[in-house]
């Protein structure tokens, strides 16, 4: 009797760069001295992805209704909050305002959506489009 042929196990999806950058920035923020309040937004057009990721990592606890869960770099799976951030970034990228409002209403403090939209959108934009040095 012949054994059935087994399909190879699917490879795990690699983490999107947005999550990788954010996880690394969150590690740096854990080791950095605490700052009160939300840091200044990087409005400089020359700010790179690392700057946006650092600001986002510092802002998330102030923007979310609950403390966000970001797993350590290299973890194959995503936390609920990481998946939520990817969904919010996808809604920004596709200009899906209905999804943005729905997602923001479930996890964010009132008035936090425009701030998150600016910083998360800026990070996603810089990861998608390389900036000249």
Residue 16: Cβ-neighbour burial (10 angstroms; 0-12, 13-18, 19+): middle
User: Is pTM beyond 0.75 here?
Assistant: yes
**Would you kindly state where each structural domain of the chain is located, as residue ranges?**
55-133
What was the pLDDT predicted at 88? 96
- Which band of pLDDT confidence, cut at 50, 70 and 90, is reported for residue 37? low
Q: What is the pLDDT of residues 116-129, one digit of tens each?
A: 999 999 999 989 87
Average pLDDT rounded to a whole number, residues 58-72: 92
Average pLDDT rounded to a whole number, residues 4-9: 58
What span, in angstroms and rounded, lies between the C-alpha atoms of 113 and 65?
A: 12
Q: What is the overall mean pLDDT for the chain?
A: 83
Write down the residue that tokens 């990087």 correspond to: 42
What was the pLDDT predicted at 87? 95
Q: Can you read off the two tokens belonging to residue 57?
A: 């990592």
């Amino acid at each position: 009797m012949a054994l059935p042929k087994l399909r190879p196990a699917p490879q795990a999806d690699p983490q999107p760069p947005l999550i990788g950058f954010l996880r690394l920035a969150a590690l740096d923020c854990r080791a950095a001295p605490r700052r009160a309040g939300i840091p200044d937004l990087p409005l400089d057009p020359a700010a790179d992805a690392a700057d946006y990721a650092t600001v986002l990592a510092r802002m998330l606890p102030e923007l979310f209704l609950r403390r966000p869960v970001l797993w350590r770099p290299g973890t194959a799976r995503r936390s609920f909050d990481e998946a939520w951030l990817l969904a919010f970034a996808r809604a920004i990228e596709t200009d899906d305002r209905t999804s943005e409002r729905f997602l923001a209403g479930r996890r964010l403090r009132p008035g936090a959506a425009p701030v998150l939209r600016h910083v998360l959108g800026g990070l996603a934009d810089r990861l998608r489009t390389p900036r000249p040095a």
